[in-house]
Structure 1
Amino acid sequence: MISCAFALIFLTTPDNIYDKSPLETPNKFKPWKQVPHLNRLVLLSGGYKKSFYGAYKIGDNERFPRIQVGDDIFTTADQKTDSPTKLRAYCSPTLSSTEIVKILSRNLDPNSKFYYPKLNGHELSSEKCLKAIKKEWDGTENKYASQKQIITQSSTCSNSDIIGLAFQGEISVIGGYTRYAPSNNQELPLVTFENTLELENLVSERQLYAAWEKNGSQMVLVWYYGQLHLFKRSGDDKLWWPVTDLNNLEKNGATILSFLRNRLRLSQELDKQIGRYPWIQAFTDLLKSAPNPNQADKRGEVYRLMAEVSHVALKVPEKVPISYLSTSMGFTSISKNIMDNSF
């Protein structure tokens, strides 16, 4: 059968690593965030028994993985969008989605750990926050006693600083918002939040990729501290909670892919194109065996279909403003647009 893997790429320019306003002196009356826009490529595949999620660090001028002659892989067309995130499918009549991913990732850098890029002339708020935490932690007696000292968030640290430091492995987050951060070693400084944690104060608008809204529930797919994650809120709950696993990223492939393909139907045109020829799905297994002159015509049909796939561009999701994360469900024009494109 014809199998496909999917790639999402997030690219930013060196002068746009951070939003400009949070680099100014933070206003104590308004939550601030310094969340870097890290260039990333994510590969996804889903299957009956096995799915795949892989995140890769990429350079400023890099693009989607290139395929070589002989790979027997066909790509969908480029999307026409000014979004920093773009989506592409890689399909093959002879390879499984797992084999496609293996080929695509052969020259990629798997080091996708979150970090704060340095900026000349700026001390980042996360650096100030870490200094304050370490100063309090170092002054604590019996740090390694069974009853751990808990550090409460101070005015030096924004919500995004604390979550970012947890992703860097500098601290451990405890309390009611542990689901927003990875589980770290309990020997690290233990920090709890003083403020209410709101998703709109942890990500930028550029990092919001797609949203879904239906039957009293909302979901958003965001670039969250260097990785793709799904968040959801339901009913009257104003807080967004992670759906994907922050600690076991490899488990998230099928969940994210289902969101893109089934809830948003971004690959609907691709699926229709492949579904036009149901006999091809049964025939493609024969392509792996030795050529048979009697099968030449059908082989030609298969590769004509794959050529048609190369002209299909995946659907671009509805643009999501940062205000969507804080407004009530269903009460804005953007909610209506998102609901119209949710399935």
Structure 2
Amino acid sequence: MNCILAFLLLTGDQTKENNRLATMPLSGHQDYYRMYAPNEMRHFRGVEAGSDVILAKSQIRGPGTHMAVYCSPSKSLRYIAEYISKGADHLDELSAYGSHHPNSREIKCLTYIRQELKISSGTKLIPIKKFLRVQDCSKSTIYSLAFQNNFCIQDIKGQILTPCRRNHRRIGVDNLFLMSDVVMGRRFILKIEANGLHTALAWYQGYLNIFQKGKLDTTWHPMIQSVPKIDNYYRITEFIANSFVEIGSIKSALTQDEITIISTSTDDQRLKSSNYPAEESHIKEQLQILSQKALRLNESPAHGLIGPFIE
């Protein structure tokens, strides 16, 4: 059995440039963790007659982040991923896309910043307040532009807060950024508290990321610091598995009964033990239960500060 977890972000009245479709396998095969521009997609694709693809999906009734799980006892992960994403455009290098504003605003802000950097000393740290006077340059926009490797942001302690290349100019800030300035919609899309830790999922600069902080702390720390690489996507599936019992049960079934995985350029098939029929029945049961639940993720305001993101 192969299963893929999918997320569909619809931003409602905001620009469609910010909509996202994400797919990630519930076990193995990081190659199938992908991000897409969903274009005109407003619902998860349903199951066609005669197909052995089975799913539990969110009933979409407005903007937000919606979730679905697609499984098949015979189809490869590649097939399932392509089935889910039909009509969407695969985004190979998401750092080229801002997740907060229309590109026109970012372009205007970046043009102004580049002009100022060009006429200033090559080693001079320019305070961010110089750019905030410009209509198109908000803190959110400047952070997004820094995340796209146009320049670096540094605090008064000399700590680098964004991805930074050696030859890049630096913009100075007095304090850490607010989480609400850097995550989509100023909101977490799912948050839990366990063992004295707060953990939250958010759309962050065009990607999904996990953030964590102590119960009494005010600063959130990004748990995935390898954007645009995909090595640590498993943190997201583990977080979702811990938040939804049925998904956790499916994930466990996929990994516990697995003997080996055969991977080729054309197909990915699982060889299962004699427990395969029982596993398939169990997963179908969990999907049926899951399909009765609301799979629109429960948003909450993103309070607090964001710590450094250093690749």
Normalised to the residue count of structure 1, the TM-score between the two structures is: 0.65
Rounded to whole Å, the distance in 2 between the matches of 1:177 and 1:98 is: 42
The 1:173–1:48 alpha-carbon spacing in structure 2 relative to 1, beyond 3 Å, is: same
Deviations, residues 255-296 of structure 1 (Å, cap 9, x unaligned)? 10000012x1x2x23566899x99xx68xx9xx89xxxxxxx
Tell whether 2:97 aligns with 1:114.
Answer: yes
Rounded to whole Å, the distance in 1 between the matches of 2:280 and 2:226 is: 40
Contact 1:232 1:241 in 2 (8 A): yes
289, 298, 303: which is aligned to 1:319?
298
Q: Which of the pair is proportionally richer in strand?
A: 2
Residue type at the aligned position of 2:300: P
Task: Give the number of aligned pairs.
Answer: 278
Partner residue in 2 for 1:135: 115
1:4-19 matched pairs, under 5 angstroms = 4-13=3-12, 15-17=13-15
What RMSD, in angstroms, separates the aligned Cα atoms of the two structures?
4.1
Partner residue in 1 for 2:152: 172
Partner residue in 2 for 1:215: 195
The 1:56–1:273 alpha-carbon spacing in structure 2 relative to 1, beyond 3 Å, is: closer
Contact 2:247 2:286 in 1 (8 A): no
Partner residue in 1 for 2:177: 197
- Please state how far the C-alpha of 1:195 moved relative to its aligned partner: 3.5
Tell whether 2:22 aligns with 1:42.
Answer: yes
- Please state how far the C-alpha of 1:110 moved relative to its aligned partner: 1.6
Rounded to whole Å, the distance in 2 between the matches of 1:37 and 1:326 is: 27
The 1:190–1:94 alpha-carbon spacing in structure 2 relative to 1, beyond 3 Å, is: same
Tell whether 2:70 aligns with 1:90.
Answer: yes
- Please state how far the C-alpha of 1:228 moved relative to its aligned partner: 0.7
Give ranges in structure 1 of 5+ residues lacking alignment.
18-35, 290-297, 328-343
121, 132, 150: which is aligned to 2:125?
150
Contact 2:66 2:296 in 1 (8 A): no
Residue type at the aligned position of 1:269: E
The higher radius of gyration belongs to 1
Partner residue in 1 for 2:309: none
1:40-79 matched pairs, under 5 angstroms = 40-47=20-27, 50=30, 52-65=32-45, 72-79=52-59
Residue type at the aligned position of 2:35: A
User: Identity over aligned residues, as a percent?
Assistant: 22
Deviations, residues 191-235 of structure 1 (Å, cap 9, x unaligned)? 232333121222354752100112221111011121111111114
Rounded to whole Å, the distance in 1 between the matches of 2:214 and 2:142 is: 26
Contact 1:39 1:60 in 2 (8 A): no
The 1:228–1:246 alpha-carbon spacing in structure 2 relative to 1, beyond 3 Å, is: same
Partner residue in 1 for 2:218: 238
Deviations, residues 89-141 of structure 1 (Å, cap 9, x unaligned)? 0111134546633554465312244234257xxxx4x4564344223211134
Give ranges in structure 2 of 5+ residues lacking alignment.
262-268, 271-275, 306-311
Normalised to the residue count of structure 2, the TM-score between the two structures is: 0.70
Secondary structure at 1:90 match in 2: strand
Rounded to whole Å, the distance in 2 between the matches of 1:102 and 1:4 is: 13
Contact 1:37 1:207 in 2 (8 A): no
Secondary structure at 1:232 match in 2: strand
Rounded to whole Å, the distance in 2 between the matches of 1:43 and 1:234 is: 29
1:279-318 matched pairs, under 5 angstroms = 306=284, 309=287, 312-313=290-291, 316=295
178, 201, 205: which is aligned to 1:225?
205
1:11-30 matched pairs, under 5 angstroms = 11-13=10-12, 15-17=13-15
